[in-house]
């Protein structure tokens, strides 16, 4: 079953700022966990900014009550729950019923397979990094190779923040004949708590010849004018961040005149 849940958060007067911060960080961690479990589907903040809306999945009302009771901010929340039911005009439902049903398109028999969950993305951090001058290795059979050092930067997210370590971070690139750039990006992050994260991304950046020429000249180009995406893995020895070792991540990136920005998301 799906439920639309409306939250109104009221922090009690006199609550210490440190407690508010701790609860908000714990709430973000809980949201990530629920998304991984497939219970939290989407979260919205209406433009009036007074409430939060969440789309949840649970077997029944009792299970949803248990999920909501586990939220760190629950004592400060006024919650309204609406159970959702299918509607005959739902475009998603229509798209599955109007298509011809053949042996290859017919949905699998639920009795013979378990249903697979839809993937969801949870924001992990935004990294803004400075770049050094490219080291041009030259032409190879795969394309022109160069190495671009990441010389410093900071990252921020709902569960961790910190800095990028220079000297342990660079992008090993292969630039193909049409200007498409394949990146092997390896960088090291240190959290504010002193934990080290080893990050490796395999990226692709492509666009029109005109846009790629502007990027090559060091101009600021709107990231929506080209594609810059990466698959990412993260490793750490920090016990409290062990969930990073088990995650699959994707990154959306943008090249700027003075550096590069990566926003990384957990796939759950």
Count of beta carbons in the 10 Å neighbourhood of residue 38: 14
Write down all domains in the chain, each with its CATH number in brackets.
Answer: 2-86 (3.30.70.1060), 121-267 (2.40.160.20)
Q: What is the reported pLDDT for 104?
A: 47
The residue assigned the tokens 């005109």 is: 210
What's the CA gap between 188 and 52, in Å, rounded? 35
The residue assigned the tokens 């005009």 is: 89
What's the CA gap between 98 and 206, in Å, rounded? 36
Band of residue 191 on the pLDDT scale cut at 50, 70, 90: very high
- What is the residue-wise DSSP string for 224-248? GGSEEEEEEEEEE--GGGGGGTT-E
Q: What is the reported pLDDT for 93?
A: 56
What's the CA gap between 126 and 230, in Å, rounded? 14
Judged by average pLDDT, the poorest of 65-79, 143-157, 190-204, 224-238 is 65-79
In terms of pLDDT, which residue wins out, 15 or 90? 15
The residue assigned the tokens 């919205």 is: 44
Mean pLDDT, residues 178-201: 95
Residue range 236-251, pLDDT digits in tens: 999 999 999 999 999 9
Band of residue 131 on the pLDDT scale cut at 50, 70, 90: very high
Q: What is the mean pLDDT of the chain?
A: 87
Tell me the sheet residues that pair with 163.
Answer: 154, 190
In terms of pLDDT, which residue wins out, 69 or 111? 69
Whole-model pTM over 0.85: no
């Amino acid at each position: 079953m799906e439920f639309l849940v409306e939250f109104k958060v009221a922090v009690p007067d006199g609550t210490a700022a440190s407690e508010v911060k701790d609860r908000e960080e714990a709430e973000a961690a809980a949201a990530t966990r629920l998304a991984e479990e497939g219970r939290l589907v989407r979260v919205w903040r209406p433009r009036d900014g007074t409430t939060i809306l969440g789309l949840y999945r649970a077997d029944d009302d009792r299970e949803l009550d248990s999920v909501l009771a586990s939220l760190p901010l629950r004592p400060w929340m006024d919650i309204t729950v609406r159970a959702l039911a299918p509607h005959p005009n739902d475009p998603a439902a229509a798209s599955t019923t109007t298509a011809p049903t053949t042996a290859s398109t017919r949905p699998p028999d639920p009795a013979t397979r378990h249903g697979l969950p839809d993937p969801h993305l949870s924001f992990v951090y935004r990294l803004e990094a400075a770049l050094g001058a490219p080291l041009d290795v030259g032409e190879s059979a795969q394309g022109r190779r160069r190495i671009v050092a990441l010389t410093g930067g900071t990252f921020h997210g709902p569960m961790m923040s910190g800095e990028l370590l220079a000297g342990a971070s660079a992008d090993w690139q292969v630039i193909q004949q049409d200007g498409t750039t394949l990146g092997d990006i390896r960088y090291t992050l240190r959290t504010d708590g002193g934990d080290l994260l080893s990050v490796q991304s395999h990226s692709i950046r492509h666009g029109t010849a005109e846009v790629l020429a502007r990027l090559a000249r060091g101009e600021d180009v709107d990231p929506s004018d080209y594609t810059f995406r990466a698959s990412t893995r993260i490793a750490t020895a920090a016990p409290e961040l062990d969930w990073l070792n088990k995650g699959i991540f994707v990154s959306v990136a943008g090249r700027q005149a003075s550096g590069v920005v990566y926003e990384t998301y957990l796939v759950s």
